[in-house]
Amino acid sequence: MKVYDHQLEVPGLRMTKQRKEVYRALMENADHPTASQLFDNLKNSQESMSLATVYNCLEALVEHGAIKQVNVDREPTRYCQNSAQHGHFHDQSTGTIHDINFKSGINLIDILDLPEGTEISSLEITLKGTLPS
Ligand SMILES: [Zn+2]
């Protein structure tokens, strides 16, 4: 997947060269990589940076809502570049994390018994199990 520079803008965040490179690396890796996997991906780029810098860039991108963190058990945090609303399915037999879309017309809030007037600022759904092979 080719990611162009203009796709690497994040409202409200100053996109330094390093942030751009980290964002690009994540956009090109839809497998929900960890920070160290992204660090490995970036080793071959001109922009050399430390693992700590990769973490800092990811943190800034998460804070500005450009990317999402995915936490499964006590494994290292993984990162998701899919900005559409979706859930995650952790396949325990392969360790793979898949994006799952909500069925159209279904509003997840409607199936939860919440007090009236509740305001939700974020909603995450992560399922664990095995997919049919
Ligand atoms: Zn995802």
Q: CA of 131: how far to CAs of 4, 31, 89, 95, in Å?
A: 34, 16, 9, 11
Pairing of strands 87-91, 126-129: parallel
How many angstroms separate the alpha carbon of residue 53 from the centre of ligand 1?
22
pTM here?
0.84
How many angstroms separate the alpha carbon of residue 98 from the centre of ligand 1?
7
Q: What is the mean pLDDT of the chain?
A: 90
How many angstroms separate the alpha carbon of residue 71 from the centre of ligand 1?
11
Higher pLDDT, 51 or 120: 51
Handedness of CA 5, 121, 62, 34 (dihedral sign): negative
Q: Which residues surround ligand 1, an ion (CB under 5 A)?
A: 80, 82, 99
- Average pLDDT (121-132) is 88
How many angstroms separate the alpha carbon of residue 79 from the centre of ligand 1?
8
Q: Give me the pLDDT at residue 129, please.
A: 96
